Structure 1
Amino acid sequence: MSKTKLDGAKDGEAARILGCYLSGFTRNRDKNSQLYIVDSSVEHAFVSTPQNVAAERKFNQVAMEGENPCSADQGYAQFESELAPALARTNSKGDFSDDADRALILRLIAQLAVLGAERTEVIRHYMQKTARRLSEFGIANRQGWESQKGKAAEAGIEDAAHCTYEELRSLVERGDETVATHTTGHLARDLESVTTLYNLLHRRSWIVAKAAHGSGGFITSDRPVTLSWDDMEMEAGFYAPGFGLQGTTVFFPLTKELVMRGRFDGRVGTLELPVASVAGINSRTVFYAGHQIYAETESFRFLDEHLVMRHGQDLLPTLQRAR
């Protein structure tokens, strides 16, 4: 069995694509320009470059039967050469009027969603969190469970209607909440799903929103593609959202000026967001991040735990208070 290695080395093409994306959040839109970074894992804020950030990210090794070890890097190289000008054109126009550029950006979203270094940990963490939610909320109220189950069925989750309240209660009472995953297996399936995910993203309707002048702009993170239920009961419940499910929203900070929102609601177009809305979206980015937040400078805005608007230099103390 041959092995394709997606390596975070400086000459790795996967890292170059990440660097290409992150450059849109710097002052000069260049991989060697500086980013302001808040890292909650080391409780430190510092500056670095997109190139250095990308080089430090570790991409897991994936066993792929019959694959040419060089084929992935060659594909990444061609993609990066097309992606950089597409990002620049879209940022300049502020919309998705070019179908070819839109296709490249949706491919970027698909790749960032499934090839992230912490993808397996995200899956494990979500499953673990789901198990805890089962214990805390699942058996508390039969009526609430039935309501959530009905919404899940309407959204398109297969077999949602077949799990009974008694089965759920039995599951929780067994107390088995340990979740394990296999890195190679998950990443191999993820690689196979890039095209599938791209097609699902293409079916969504996209709004491109621009940050108002003086807002401090949008930020991004080490988990820039976020997916959530629109319904708060579902978001706090048992069923995980899926990229192909109704009633879900994908958010993606495209550059420091633009953010994308994708739904199955038919709404397309552009709009400009005021400072408060930009701060709210930045707070969402912080909430879904792994360890690192990336911004042009520390002047970006976000909402703290009391929904008070703060500047970037206040983010690390806010995260420390939340621990």
Structure 2
Amino acid sequence: MADTVNHHFIPQFYLRGFSDAADKRKAQVFVFDQSTKKSFRTLVRNIGARRNFFRIEAEGFDPNHVEDGMAEIEGEIAPRLAEVIETKSFPTDAHFTSVMLLMGNVAVRNPRFRSMLEDLHIKIASGMMRTSLQDKDRYHDSIRQAREGGAPIRDDISYEDMKAFIDRGNYKIAIDQTYLIGLELDAVPTVTEQLARRSWAFASAPAGSTFTTCDDPVVLAWADGKDRGPYSPGFGLEGTIVMFPISPELALIGLFVQQPQNRTFRRDQVADMNTSMAKNATKQLYARDGEFELHTRTEPYTRGKDLAAVLGRQAKATGQKDGNERTAEIR
């Protein structure tokens, strides 16, 4: 087993497709970091990854079992994705399945989804603790049930002490990473199945325009562009669109209505999609170079290499107007 610690939640073979390096082992991409508002070029192996992100602790399994297993699957997907890009089609059912599986994994096995799962379980655990402390009988019943389930609970902590501790809120609930990884793996087939139900079109960028990608590149949105609140729609919901760039010149568009297999985007459509990609990014945008375009709040068709300067001007103007500094916006 590989002793890997830098686990890529965005596959390296996918990111290499956004590099123009002849030697893919030395592939670099343009990066814009939205947290620092800085751009730079770096090797693909340095991005889309977190230390021990897929490391598990399970009896009978190597800690890198999940990471190594995904590497084997990616080895099968990589050549098929290259053929899909070259032909702008799905030559076989195996090619279609591979791309759907790639999207399903990228959409689910990433820091944002992990954080959502963790937050949900923390809220549930917090609610259960407070419910069990509503009265002494309920508390002692919950302790008894937990012990019967094998939980090593001390017997020298009174109901009053526990209630005071919980009321102070001076504690942190930790959700086991192996458990969260298991939930992610369980979710991948469901998301992949819903993606496969869509009608998919290959959108080509016109000359002079290129697509960008990011650290969460499967964008799910309402097809009419309307905002329906803080929560994103589900992958199986009618009236939604999925966007996924697969190269600087080509992107996949998935709808629940029939559409032509091949579409040629205009400059504004490419910039619109790049803007959606930037909004969906957790932290970083990736591109072949800094020439890609997107829309910012004050300056449409902003090039990637100019993004830091444009956002800096926005932040300065907003700070002067409102008397405080706020983060500049991508439109």
Q: Under a length normalisation based on structure 1, what TM-score does the superposition of the two structures give? A: 0.71
My pick for the range that moved more, 95-104 or 62-71, is 62-71
Cα distance change, pair 275–238 in 1 and its aligned pair in 2 (3 A): closer
Tell me the equivalent position of 1:45.
Answer: 39
Separation in 1 of the partners of 2:68 and 2:85? 26
Tell me the equivalent position of 1:197.
Answer: 191
Residue from 78, 83, 93 that aligns with 2:72: 78
Tell me the equivalent position of 1:259.
Answer: 251
Tell me the equivalent position of 1:250.
Answer: 242
SS at match of 2:262: strand
Residue from 18, 25, 39 that aligns with 2:18: 25
Using the TM superposition, give the Cα deviation of residue 225 of structure 1 relative to its aligned residue in structure 2, in angstroms: 0.9
SS at match of 1:213: coil
In the alignment, residue 22 of structure 1 is paired with which amino acid?
L
Separation in 2 of the partners of 1:260 and 1:181? 38
Long gaps (5+) in structure 2 = 121-172, 316-326
Using the TM superposition, give the Cα deviation of residue 259 of structure 1 relative to its aligned residue in structure 2, in angstroms: 0.8
Residue from 306, 309, 313 that aligns with 1:314: 306
Separation in 1 of the partners of 2:207 and 2:269? 13
Using the TM superposition, give the Cα deviation of residue 231 of structure 1 relative to its aligned residue in structure 2, in angstroms: 4.3
Tell me the equivalent position of 1:284.
Answer: 276
In the alignment, residue 223 of structure 1 is paired with which amino acid?
D
Tell me the equivalent position of 2:211.
Answer: 218
Which runs of structure 2 are paired with 1:1-323 in the superposition (5 Å)?
Answer: 8-9=5-6, 14=8, 18-28=11-21, 30-54=24-48, 59-62=53-56, 69=63, 71-121=65-115, 182=175, 184=177, 185-215=179-209, 217-233=210-226, 235-237=227-229, 240-306=232-298, 308-320=300-312, 321=315, 322-323=327-328
> Does structure 1 retain, via aligned residues, the 8 Å contact 2:216–2:281?
yes
Structure 1 or 2, whichever has the larger Rg, is 2
SS at match of 1:27: coil
> Does structure 1 retain, via aligned residues, the 8 Å contact 2:85–2:250?
yes
Long gaps (5+) in structure 1 = 127-179
Using the TM superposition, give the Cα deviation of residue 115 of structure 1 relative to its aligned residue in structure 2, in angstroms: 1.0
Separation in 1 of the partners of 2:176 and 2:3? 13
Identity of aligned residues (%): 30
CA offsets 1:132-161 (integer angstroms, 9 cap, x no match) = xxxxxxxxxxxxxxxxxxxxxxxxxxxxxx
Cα distance change, pair 239–72 in 1 and its aligned pair in 2 (3 A): closer
Separation in 2 of the partners of 1:6 and 1:262? 37
Q: Under a length normalisation based on structure 2, what TM-score does the superposition of the two structures give? A: 0.69
> Does structure 2 retain, via aligned residues, the 8 Å contact 1:91–1:258?
yes
SS at match of 1:25: coil
Cα distance change, pair 307–281 in 1 and its aligned pair in 2 (3 A): farther
In the alignment, residue 112 of structure 2 is paired with which amino acid?
E
Separation in 2 of the partners of 1:57 and 1:207? 35
Using the TM superposition, give the Cα deviation of residue 317 of structure 1 relative to its aligned residue in structure 2, in angstroms: 3.1
Cα distance change, pair 220–8 in 1 and its aligned pair in 2 (3 A): farther
In the alignment, residue 78 of structure 1 is paired with which amino acid?
E
Using the TM superposition, give the Cα deviation of residue 202 of structure 1 relative to its aligned residue in structure 2, in angstroms: 0.9
How many residue pairs were aligned? 262
